Amino acid sequence: MAFLSGFLKDIKDGWTSFKNRNQIIELSFSRVQAYSRCPLMYNLVYNRGWRSGPNGSMALGLSLHRALAAYFSEENKSRTLDQLNDIYDHVWVNEGYKNTQELLDTYDGGRKMLGRFFERDQKRTTEVVATEKEFGMNMEGLHFRGTVDRIDRCPDGSFEVIEYKTHGDCWSESRIANDLQMTFYALGVKEGLHLQPLKLKYMFLSSGETVETHRTAEQTTAARELLYDIARRLRRKEFDPNNEYCIRCEFGTRCQKSGGTAPAGAAPASRRT
Stretch that binds ligand SF4, among 40-48, 57-65, 89-97, 137-145 (CB under 6 A): 40-48
Find, among 127, 145, 139, the residue nearest to 193 by Cα: 145
The DSSP bridge partners found for residue 213 are 200
Applying CB under 6 A, the site for ligand SF4 has a residue count of 15
- The answer to the question of residue 28 lying near ligand SF4 (CB under 6 A) is no
CB 249 within 8 A of CB 266: yes
Please report how close the Cβ of residue 247 comes to ligand SF4 at its closest, in angstroms.
8
Q: Is 269 in the site for ligand SF4 (CB under 6 A)?
A: no
Shortest Cβ 109–ligand SF4 spacing (Å): 30
The mark string for 205-224 relative to ligand SF4 (x by CB under 6 A, - otherwise) is --------------------
Least distance (Å) from ligand SF4 to the CB of residue 241? 3
Interface with ligand SF4 includes 34 (CB under 6 A)? no
Rounded CA gap, 150 and 212, in Å?
Answer: 14
Q: Is 27 in the site for ligand SF4 (CB under 6 A)?
A: no
Euclidean distance between CA atoms 66 and 201, whole angstroms? 19
Under the criterion CB under 6 A, does residue 36 sit at the interface with ligand SF4? no
Considering the rule CB under 6 A, would residue 135 count as an interface residue with ligand SF4? Answer: no
DSSP 124: -
71 binds ligand SF4 (CB under 6 A): no
The residue among 44 and 113 lying less far from ligand SF4, judged by its C-beta, is 44
Which C-beta is closer to ligand SF4: that of 231 or that of 246? 246
Among 232, 252, 270, 273, binds ligand SF4 (CB under 6 A): 252
Q: What is the DSSP string of 186-235?
A: HHHHHHHS---SEEEEEEETTTTEEEEE---HHHHHHHHHHHHHHHHHHH
Give the binding range for ligand SF4 (CB under 6 A) out of 7-15, 65-73, 167-175, 249-257.
249-257
Query: In angstroms, what is the minimal distance from the CB of 253 to ligand SF4?
Result: 8
* Amino acid occupying residue 17: S
Contact yes or no for 127/106 (Cβ under 8 A): no
- Minimum distance between the CB of residue 8 and ligand SF4, rounded to whole angstroms? 24
Q: Which of 226, 234, 254 is nearest to 39 (CA)?
A: 234
- Minimum Å gap between C-beta 49 and ligand SF4 is 14
Compute the distance between CA of residue 208 and CA of residue 64 in angstroms, rounded to an integer: 13
Using CB atoms within 10 Å of the CB of residue 162, give its burial: 0 to 12 exposed, 13 to 18 middle, 19+ buried: buried
Residue 108 backbone phi and psi in degrees, to 5: -65, -40
Instruction: Identify the residue among 159, 251, 268, 271 touching ligand SF4 (CB under 6 A).
Output: 251
CA 71 to chain centroid: 21
CA distance linking residue 253 with residue 261, whole number of Å: 6
268 binds ligand SF4 (CB under 6 A): no
Q: How far is the CB of 259 from ligand SF4 (least distance, A)?
A: 6
